[in-house]
Amino acid sequence: MNRETISFTFEVYDSVEELSAEDAWLLQEARKVTNQAYAPYSQFNVGAIARLTNGETVTGTNQENASYPVGLCAERVLLSAASSIYPNVPIETMAISYHNTKGESDRPVTPCGICRQTLAEYQLRLNHPIRLILSGLEGKIYIIPQSNMLLPLGFNSSDLQ
């Protein structure tokens, strides 16, 4: 038997003031866009914004419906919009934040499993890393260098060959 380890390194910041001006702007916009989420069932409003390699930005919010928990996460809404509006333009950085109207919003939020798979596929398809900035409305901030780091041993198109 062999034993192997998978790990990755990410940055942790105590506040938005520690970020570069560009990253701080993206995070502040992600925090603002949480107000556009439609989450009447979970009361957990998620907002995301991405800066593409062409300099454009695209936003997304979670969208729930009456057959809850069926809905769309902010990350997948954003990825769908980006690939529709700017086909084949990679995402440089995506900032994701949330507002939990039933509780605290003071620690970084991480993408759910299906969003991790979708981010990894998007990154692979366009052959460009997607850097993630993860936070709540306040508190610590995580910066993940590549979105596929959140899905070690992930399933991808090469598995279908």
Which residues are designated catalytic? 75
How far apart CA 61 and CA 47 sit, in angstroms, is 5
How far apart CA 89 and CA 69 sit, in angstroms, is 31
Strand (E) or helix (H) holding 46: strand 44-52
Whether residue 32 contacts residue 140, with contact meaning beta carbons closer than 8 Å, is answered with: no
Separation in Å, CA 66 to CA 37, 39, 41, 42, 160: 15, 10, 8, 11, 35
